[in-house]
């Protein structure tokens, strides 16, 4: 089994506080939907599938307590973070069941996600070459119900006996690569080297990268993919160096109502994420900052879309 | 006048400690060559021209004290940082004068650098379009004898009345962009927005960048340029988006003995620069790190080479 970051027992959701990793493994107990929503906004939990699972449990807590009506709870959770579409998808799934079924369905969807990830991994292991794999952000067990999407593909490659070396972009400003991907790889003995995001070009120029694999927060009908800021830069670099560039995601990340990437809302986060680090000021007070959390990689830079049902192809191809 | 970061009076070199900016303006007093060399290695001072000026004063201190022989002092300073060629250039210049002339010559070369930078600025202001200018690291007054190379071009554009907006890459791992460029721009009222290095692609895709201008630590005879890690990534992005990419440097940065970028030694620095930030751990203990301080941008990605004598053209063109 891979690392677990979301636990639920009736009435109590527990989240491994991802803001404190790798320094400490601290669990946050959550018993109401407001707290579930703020845990998503404040990034106690992050990663599109993990956010969705948390939102599912948030709905379960809301129904269980009965004090918040379901419509309100839904709106609260939907507003927690705007870019990942999985959150909306899970709330729509839960909308179809009566109150008494919300909690068991949330639990079932959590388990389903783990299974989905293993199947994403199998698809990916068929197409990705072994060798140096570059990735960004954290798309592993911590970002999902377990196993992972892009990092799940790496896990599956390793499980199938391939020699793989993960090159983890530290992923500024929130350092999910340095804090979470490096930690996951280290814990599971997957060979991993940490780099600053800006080193990706030099690394590819040296011929050390055989593929890039990233996750997605939303994939539009034409194949454009929103993912962690910096993903688009990696895609341009991959094209320049002739390195295949894959996106790995569950089908719940597909937003077929969204024709292309221009329609994906991009969350802008606080300047503080760039100007301070754990309370230490690293840029002058008052400096203007641009801090989008995601960018959009156009379909024409993407070699393949890896899902639990095999390789997906945009309708426009 | 622009900001001053290196002061000398006979027997005493004073450096503005760039490791402590922007939090505090602390000056370090230096009276011997060993301390001058360690200030370069430890990045109290950084930036190819500023390193050279500091090394020049280091030689002046060595000669003044008389306890260290000139050959030893030279070797000590040459080993302080390997990539910037200006350091070797200034030591070769000083090698040609007798003991009594070393100190006045070091002072003269410091003044000459300021004049050189203003001329680089004038060359750049003729070719750079106004509008959004993307840059990396710090190439301003702090990196030189004053004014700056790439950021000096921005200063000259502003002085000539052009509307310019600087987009400063924070420049991981050492954050010269966030700490130094943002600070310089803010102090002089140059409009500036700070971004994470990984945002450069998304920013260009939005059409907000009209040019990229960077400094250099060494330029080979064929035009390949070594500069701060991440520069090559910006050059690939600029090419993909049709944005002109300029390198600005004094002719002392040219290494005509070096045929191409493959012959430029690239300094690798401590993993700690990526795994900790001001003593705070941001990646798991023991994780493997790749931390080259520079990368090489091949000549074919460079639109123009801006020097104090106008645009330079590689011999191979």
The count of CB pairs under 8 A between chains A and B is: 190
Residue A65 has a pLDDT of: 83
Provide the pLDDT for residue B167.
98
What ipTM score was computed for the predicted complex, to two decimals?
A: 0.94
The beta-carbon neighbor of B196 closest among A173, A182, A202 is: A173
Q: C-alpha distances in angstroms, A60 versus A35, A49, A64, A77, B282?
A: 13, 17, 6, 12, 34
> How does DSSP classify residue A301?
G
A-contacting residues in B 34-93 (Cβ below 8 Å): none
Share of residues in chain A with pLDDT > 90 (%)? 93
Whether B240 contacts chain A with CB within 8 A: yes
A239 touches chain B (CB under 8 A): yes
Instruction: Label residue B316 by pLDDT band (50, 70, 90).
Output: low
- Residues of chain A numbered 246-305 and touching chain B (CB < 8 Å): 274-275, 277-278, 280-292, 295-296
R_g (Cα) of chain A, nearest Å? 19
Q: What is the pLDDT of residue A316?
A: 65
pLDDT of residue B280 exceeding 90: no
- A192 and B288 in contact by Cβ < 8 A? yes
Query: What residue in B sits closest to A202 (Cα-Cα)?
Result: B295
Q: Is the pLDDT of residue B170 over 70?
A: yes
Contacts of B22 in chain A (CB under 8 A): 281, 283-285
**pLDDT given at position A66:** 79
pLDDT, tens digit, 9 for 90 and up, residues A2-38: 789 999 999 999 999 999 999 999 999 999 999 999 9
* A1 pLDDT above the threshold of 70: no
| Span A260-284, pLDDT tens digits | 999 999 999 999 999 998 888 999 9
According to DSSP, the β-strands at B310-312 and B304-307 are antiparallel
CATH 1.20.120.420 boundaries in chain A: 6-115
User: Which residue, among A21, A171, A202, A243, would best test binding to B if mutated, counting the most B CBs under 10 Å from its CB?
Assistant: A202
pLDDT at B84 > cutoff 90: no
Nearest CA-CA partner of A103 in A13, A34, A186, A219 = A13
CA distance A308 to A317: 20
Distance to chain A for B300, nearest Cα, Å: 13
Q: Which residues of B are catalytic?
A: 217
For A69-99, write each residue's pLDDT tens digit.
999 999 999 999 988 899 999 999 999 999 9
Contacts of B192 in chain A (CB under 8 A): 287-288
**Residue A317 pLDDT more than 70?**
no
Predicted local confidence at residue B96, as pLDDT? 96
Q: Which residues contact A100 (CB under 8 A, 6 or more apart)?
A: none
Are B198 and A173 spatial neighbours (Cβ–Cβ below 8 Å)? no
Point out the residues of A that are catalytic: 217
The chain A residue lying nearest B200, using CA atoms, is: A233
DSSP calls for B3-31: ---EEEETTEEEEE-TTSTTT---EEEE-
List the A211-214 sheet strands across, edge first. Answer: A310-312, A304-307, A245-248, A211-214, A131-135, A164-169, A192-195, B288-289
Return the CA Rg of chain B: 19
Residue pair A188/A155 in contact (Cβ under 8 Å)? The answer is yes
For residues B77 and B36, the answer to whether their CB atoms sit within 8 Å is yes
- Which chain B residues contact residue A202 at CB under 8 A? 229, 232-233, 292, 295-296
Q: Note whether A194 contacts B: Cβ–Cβ < 8 A.
A: yes
Model confidence over B198-241: pLDDT tens digits? 999 999 999 999 999 999 999 999 999 999 999 999 999 999 99
B23-50 tens-digit pLDDT: 999 999 999 999 999 999 999 999 999 9
Query: How confident is the model over A171-208, as pLDDT tens digits?
Result: 999 999 999 999 999 999 999 999 999 999 999 999 99
Architecture of domain A123-312: 3-Layer(aba) Sandwich (3.40)
Determine, for residues A192 and B236 on separate chains, whether the beta-carbon distance falls below 8 Å: no
Percent over 70 (pLDDT), chain B: 99
pLDDT value at position B317?
62
Q: Using CB atoms, which residue from A179, A202, A290 is nearest to B292?
A: A202
Contact indicator for A105, A93 with CB cutoff of 8 Å: yes
- Tell me how far apart the alpha carbons of residues B219 and B84 are, in angstroms, rounded to a whole number: 9
Q: How many CA atoms lie within 13 A of A155 on its CB side?
A: 25
Contacts of A89 (CB under 8 A, 6+ apart): A52, A252
In which residue ranges of chain B is CATH 3.40.50.10470 found? 123-312
pTM of the model: 0.95
Which CATH code, of 1.20.120.420, 1.10.3470.10, 3.40.50.300, 1.10.1370.30, is assigned to B6-115?
1.20.120.420
**Cβ within 8 Å, pair A197-B196:** yes
Please name which of B138, B130, B237 lies closest in space to residue B181, comparing C-alpha atoms: B138
């Amino acid at each position: 089994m891979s690392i677990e970051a979301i636990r639920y027992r009736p009435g109590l959701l527990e989240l491994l506080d991802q803001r404190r990793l790798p320094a400490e493994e601290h669990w946050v107990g959550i018993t109401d939907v407001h707290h579930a929503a703020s845990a998503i906004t404040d990034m106690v939990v992050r990663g599109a599938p993990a956010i969705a699972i948390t939102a599912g449990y948030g709905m379960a807590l809301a129904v269980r307590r009965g004090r918040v009506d379901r419509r309100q709870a839904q709106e609260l959770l939907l507003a927690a973070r705007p870019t990942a579409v999985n959150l909306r998808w899970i709330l729509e799934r839960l909308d179809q069941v009566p109150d008494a079924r919300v909690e068991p369905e949330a639990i079932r969807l959590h388990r389903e996600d783990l299974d989905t990830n293993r199947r994403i991994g199998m698809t990916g292991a068929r197409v990705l070459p072994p060798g140096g794999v570059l990735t960004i952000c954290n798309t592993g067990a911590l970002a999902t119900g377990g196993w992972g999407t892009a990092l799940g593909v790496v896990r599956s490659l390793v499980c199938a006996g391939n020699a793989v070396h993960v090159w983890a972009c530290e992923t500024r400003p929130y350092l999910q690569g340095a804090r979470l991907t490096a930690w996951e790889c280290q814990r599971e003995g997957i060979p991993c080297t940490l780099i600053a995001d800006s080193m990706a070009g030099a690394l590819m120029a040296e011929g050390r990268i055989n593929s890039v694999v990233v996750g997605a927060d939303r994939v539009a009908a034409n194949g454009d993919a929103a993912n962690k800021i910096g993903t688009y830069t990696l895609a341009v670099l991959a094209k320049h160096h002739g390195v295949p560039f894959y996106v790995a995601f569950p089908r719940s990340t597909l937003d077929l109502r969204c024709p292309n990437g221009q329609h994906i809302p991009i969350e802008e986060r606080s300047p503080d994420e760039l100007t301070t680090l754990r309370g230490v000021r690293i840029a002058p007070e008052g400096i203007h900052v641009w801090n989008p959390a995601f960018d959009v990689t156009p379909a024409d830079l993407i070699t393949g879309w890896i899902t639990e049902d095999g390789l997906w192809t945009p309708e426009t191809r």
